[in-house]
Chains A and B, each alone.
Chain A
Amino acid sequence: MSLHVTFAVAARVLKQLRRDHRTMAMLLVVPLVLLSLLWWMFDRDDVVFNRLGPPLLAMFPFIVMFLVTSVTTLRERSSGTLERLLSMPMGKLDLLLGYALAFGLIALVQALLAVSLTVGLLGLDVAGPVWALAVVAVLDAVLGTTLGLFVSAFAETEFQAVQFMPALVIPQILLCGLFVARDAMPDVLRVVSDVLPLSYAVDGMQRLQQDTRLSGDFGVDLLVIGGYIVGAVGLGAATLRRRTA
């Protein structure tokens, strides 16, 4: 492990993103547009906006970072730069953490913008501390990044990488409690929902909305997401092979 190399990877990824103005704009602006659209749709119904807002704040960073990372790392695998890096004194963790750091920073900016918009301008009611919303969003983004890194190993083309999003992300959206409260789901689905990480992000957001103080349960939500991040980094590291056929 070398911090120096981790930072070099993060700086390089950010440099590449910075040059790609269109992707950067999409990363930062699209969530804001969608949240505004949601607010507008429920123009006369603050209750629905307040119910849907927090889960969506949890979802955007997860989906977007999952997509961006799986395609970026797939590109790194297919262009030969990954093989080159792994033939150099580059620790697998250095690479994974560098990516997570870079996309985590983008997610932080994205989360700050989205939270300022929804809470500041659109009047989303949040009882708890607003900064904690951003913490959940960033953790979620890092989770998306690490999962994206992992699945990129199973995609041979960018088309395939993009298809992992409906396969792995949409079920989490359906089961995270946005459409049906998790308690009200059939038992089997309830259990599945308990295993999926996005459920905890949504739970955490909803707790922040309702409780004025940070509860122990909120801490558990964060820990679970953190656990999934560590697990995904481990799985991702296992897919980085220095030797290939």
Chain B
Amino acid sequence: MNSSTAIEIADLRVERGGRAVIPGLTTSVAHGEITGLLGPSGCGKTTLMRAVVGVQIVKAGRVTVLGEAAGSPGLRRRVGYVTQAPSVYADLTVRENLVFFAAVLGVSRNGVDHAIGTVGLDDHADDLVARLSGGQRSRVSLAVALLGTPDILVLDEPTVGLDPVLRRQLWQMFASLAADGAAIVVSSHVMDEAERCDRLLLMREGRLIADDTVPNLLEKTATDDVESAFLAIVERSVS
């Protein structure tokens, strides 16, 4: 394994109800990069991310994270994971949620304030999560994942429903975390977010159909945007 490799996936196979959701997938993710996982809804993005975090039952293959098998106890402090639906307590305030998760992770109160600030929720720190908008709730969930500055950040559609200004801020934050050496995996079904990633993994029906940087991808497909590139690759593989 290369020293800059953060996540290595070899022949990963995941089945659900007897059907192969991911028939066999091999790739790797580097430190210091934002890796975008793109594809239509239902293509296996979430399943792949769950396998990296180590919460997915896998049929075969190997997922290695920071040199350890995915889901190993040693990784539980070092991998931050944000699910698509915000997993926080609606009947607690923003701060109470973070204080609780910080206690589980052994992170100080300073870390809590910092995480709330990073996602821009200072003004809502003492509001009940139930009273927040959908976008604000997903930011609370994101703040929890940022506690303790994890080495690996796995984010499942973290920017859905956010206003453009905030979306740009979050991408800037991802970029600065990556610059500090974190490996960031972000999924999205919005192709225009792809431009912000250092590297793209395009997925369709559980398979990787492309693995490249954005400029390379556009050049190879002779297209101007990622959506057209995706279509070009799909059409090429069908014909």
Contact = CB atoms under 8 A, between A and B. Distances in A.
Interface of A: 4-5, 8, 11-12, 15-16, 19-20, 79-81, 83-90, 242-245
B100 A12 contact: yes
Contacts of A87: 53-55, 71, 76, 79, 81
Contacts of A8: 100, 103-104
Contacts of B86: 80
B106 A81 contact: no
Given A86-B55, A87-B54, A89-B73, A15 B83 contact: no
A227 to B, nearest CB: 30
B85 A89 contact: no
B91 A245 contact: no
Contact of B71 (A11, A90, A242): A242
Interface string B69-106: 00101001101010101111111100010001101111
Contacts of B91: 16, 19-20
B221 interface: no
B17 to A, nearest CB: 8
Contact of A88 (B83, B90, B101): B101
B101 to A, nearest CB: 7
Contacts of A245: 16, 56-57
A87 B153 CA distance: 13
Interface of B: 16, 53-57, 71, 73, 76-77, 79, 81, 83, 85-92, 96, 100-101, 103-106, 128, 144
A244 B79 contact: no
A76 to B, nearest CB: 9
A93 B89 CA distance: 20
B109 to A, nearest CB: 13
A186 to B, nearest CB: 45
A39 B73 CA distance: 55
A12 B98 CA distance: 11
Nearest 3 pairs between A and B by C-beta? A80-B87, A8-B103, A84-B87
Contacts of B56: 243-245
A81 B91 CA distance: 13
A158 to B, nearest CB: 15
21 contacts: A11-B100, A16-B89, A16-B91, A19-B91, A20-B91, A79-B85, A80-B85, A80-B86, A81-B87, A83-B55, A84-B81, A84-B144, A88-B76, A88-B77, A88-B101, A88-B105, A89-B106, A242-B54, A242-B71, A243-B54, A243-B71
Nearest to B84: A80
A100 B91 CA distance: 20
A232 B81 CA distance: 30
Contact of B89 (A11, A12, A86, A88): A12
Nearest to B154: A87
Contacts of A80: 83, 85-87
B61 to A, nearest CB: 14
A244 B101 contact: no
B55 A16 contact: no
A245 B16 CA distance: 7
Contacts of B73: 89
Contacts of A88: 76-77, 101, 104-105
A81 B144 CA distance: 11
Nearest to A95: B104
